[in-house]
Amino acid sequence: MERLPLPKLSTLNGDVLRAGDCNHPVCQDCTASFVVARVQEQRVFGIRCPFEGCQNELYEPDIENLVQRGALAGDFGKRLSDLRKQDYTARLLDLTDEGREHTAEDYKLMRRLWTSTRRCPRCNVIIEKSEGCNSFGCTCGHRFNFLKAPRGCGDGIEDFDSVMALAGDFQMTMQTAMQCMQEANKAGIKKYKRVLVHSSRMQIPLSLAEVYVRASLGQGPALAQLQDARVARRLDKKARRLMALMGIPFEDAMQLLQQAHAGDQTAQVKIQGARQLQDSMVTKEATHCVEALEKDGREMNTTNENASSDAEFGQPSIDSAFHGA
């Protein structure tokens, strides 16, 4: 019985894919039949040694070896590669399907596929980079530049990582997230990650974070919008203080401030009166505190003086008591 050897297998970069041969007693014809059955079932990823429970996976060089040994048809390798590409595309479409209810793990997987993985341009196998240069060699023998190879997910979508952040962290659909970024791009924001950073650091909505980024780019309307927002915050603060001083609803306090700002003298007099009342209350409270402190001081001095008198005239000293004894 001639079996297909499954020796140690590494990428051209030295990453170990298979530590060594399992040496299971499966003939090469049975292995070939098993591979053909898997392909007919459209299950073209994760093809392993047919022995029950074996984890040794078959890769492109193993398929080519079976072809060279006459156990598989000559075009089988290309057929497998094409099917893998179709199967992976179908899986990816399912993963990114708008009609699917995505989980946090889905978004995490998609971000990882976009960030750190590429597909071999020849056999479509997913390759993840952890470190090192961008010159990669697949098990199929194909060499390619990692940065130029198609991404594992989101290929062709600029800043897909920000799309995933919007979808995962802000409960958007992928379509809505991409539309959000497209609108921001039209407004001059080329790197949406800046918006996400502002939103996270300042704990503000995305819409306001976009205004901050546009203002940082020197856009006049955004600068004016920020100025209006600052004025609104100051007005809100004043209205709340006036509400507390005058004991009126917030809406009435805001209306009074707006009237005063518009030049209404009656409103201005009311606000001035409230402020003077506050100043008077503060002054009275301060005066009361000072008087209380002075009173405490006088009482303490009196107590000390009485204690001194008692010691001088009423109580014998230790020496006199001793001599008297």
Q: How many CB atoms lie within 10 A of CB 198?
A: 19
Domain boundaries, the chain: 9-86, 234-297
Q: At what angle do helices 220-246 and 206-216 cross, to 10 degrees?
A: 130
Contact 49, 13 (CB under 8 A): no
Pairing of strands 9-10, 16-18: antiparallel
User: How confident is the prediction along the chain (325 residues), in pLDDT tens digits per residue?
Assistant: 689 999 998 877 777 888 999 999 999 999 999 999 988 887 777 889 999 999 998 888 888 899 899 998 888 877 777 777 766 666 776 777 766 777 778 888 888 888 888 888 877 777 887 677 888 877 777 888 988 888 888 877 778 888 888 888 888 888 888 889 889 989 999 899 999 999 999 998 999 999 999 999 999 999 998 898 888 888 888 888 888 888 889 998 888 888 888 888 888 888 888 777 766 655 555 556 656 666 666 566 555 555 555 544 444 443 443 344 3
Give the predicted TM-score (pTM) of the model: 0.48
